[in-house]
Amino acid sequence: MKITSLIIALSLLISTTILAQDKATYEKHYYKSPQKVEEKNYSLSFSDIVSKMDYAKMAVEIKNLSNDYLMFNSQESQFIFDFGKLNSKKGSMYILPHSSLDETLKVSGSDQFLTDQYTLLFKGLYTISAQGEIQEMDEFQLPASKNNIAAGNFKISLLKTSQKTKETYAKFECEYIGDDIAIIDASKITVRVEGKDIVYANSIKKSTGNLLKKGGPIFLKKGEKANFKAVFNIPGKIADMQFSVLHIIWGDTFMESKALEIPAKELPIILDLGTTHGKN
């Protein structure tokens, strides 16, 4: 019995020693995924956490469980090592209500990333109310009598237009000069024929070359610009658009909303020695 116990103890000691010696020579480290973060309005899941000598990275899935928008400034998240703190380089990303975002967080700039553990300070997540302040805007006439209009913190410029019998097309640029977040939803644009009360929707989602990603809104910070389109199809029995005066009605197209920061989460990232040993 004593001999058996001694053999087991020696085997464990030898295995541990071998792993400890090999660990310093591993080309790639694999880490355990931290526990999923679940809050009322969002959840965070982390996976594929690895590092090599010159970088560390991980995958994160952010689920928006609310009726509002989420903004993620990934460059605010920090990888905290013994040798210093490093931030991811990507900019802002937006998550629609009840949607998700899959993103990779990665840092480089050192040769000391093969470490047993570090801390991820996950921050830069904000909530943006979908019930912000609507910016009213005067109707815009086509053919254009002027190419630029402005109201509040929004500056609008007409870039291109085409009026044909079956279709009218207009391309605009919007610049936001406010201090919050601008939300531009071109699907809210409508048009009326001068002298008539009936309004027609923007049919941009049915057209090619849609600049709105998946038909969703555009988000702008202060000083940023973006293009958007409007396409109108009015039956010929109502009006020949080639020879008609049209009035674009902006409605709820332009909105401002504040970005409210969600408290940061500090997550320990710990080496998975078994997986690391098995994959190297």
Q: Are residues 34 and 68 both part of a single domain?
A: yes
pLDDT computed for residue 9 by the predictor:
46
Are 169 and 161 in contact by the 8 Å Cβ rule? The answer is: yes
What is the separation of C-alpha 164 from the centre of its chain, rounded to a whole number of angstroms? 37
pTM for this one? 0.84
**232 lies in which domain range?**
135-256
pLDDT of residue 208: 36
Q: How far apart are CA 42 and CA 196, in angstroms?
A: 46
Name which of 132-136, 197-201, 263-267 the model is least confident about.
Answer: 197-201
Tell whether 32 is covered by a domain.
yes
The pair phi, psi for residue 142, each rounded to 5°, is: -125, 130
- Say yes or no: 215 and 228 in one domain: yes
* CATH value at residue 219: 2.60.40.1240
Any domain includes 196: yes
Are 134 and 71 in contact by the 8 Å Cβ rule? The answer is no
Query: Could you report the per-residue pLDDT of 1-56, keeping only the tens digit for each?
Result: 444 444 444 444 444 544 444 445 899 999 999 999 999 999 999 999 999 999 99
The tokens of 227 are what?
């293009």
Do residues 141 and 233 share a domain? yes
Q: Is residue 250 part of a domain?
A: yes
Is 148 found in the same domain as 246? yes
What is the rounded CA–CA span in Å between residue 89 and residue 203?
A: 37
10 Å CB burial of residue 69 (0-12, 13-18, 19+) is: buried
| Residue 1 belongs to some domain of the structure | no
Do 174 and 66 fall into the same domain?
no
Residues 250 and 268 in one domain: no
User: How far is residue 199's CA from residue 32's CA, in Å, rounded to a whole number?
Assistant: 57
- For residues 78 and 133, the answer to whether their CB atoms sit within 8 Å is no
Residues 230 and 264 placed together within one structural domain of the fold: no
Q: What is the pLDDT of residue 215?
A: 59
Residues near 57 by beta carbon (within 8 Å), at least 6 away in sequence: 48, 49, 50, 51, 104, 105, 106, 107
Residue 143 lies in a domain: yes
175 phi and psi, to 5 degrees? -115, 130
- pLDDT reported for residue 14: 43
Band of pLDDT at residue 205, cut at 50, 70 and 90 = low
Token pair 């020879």: residue: 243
Number of domains forming the structure of the chain = 2
Residue 11 falls within a domain, yes or no?
Answer: no
What is the pLDDT, as a whole number, of residue 11?
47
In percent, the amount of the chain with pLDDT more than 70 equals 88
Q: Is there a domain that residue 5 lies in?
A: no
Give domain status of residue 167, yes or no: yes
Helix (H) or strand (E) holding 16: helix 2-23
Per-residue model confidence as pLDDT tens digits over 62-114? 999 999 999 999 999 999 999 999 998 888 999 999 999 999 999 999 999 99
Listed range (70-74, 135-139, 200-204) with the worst mean pLDDT: 200-204
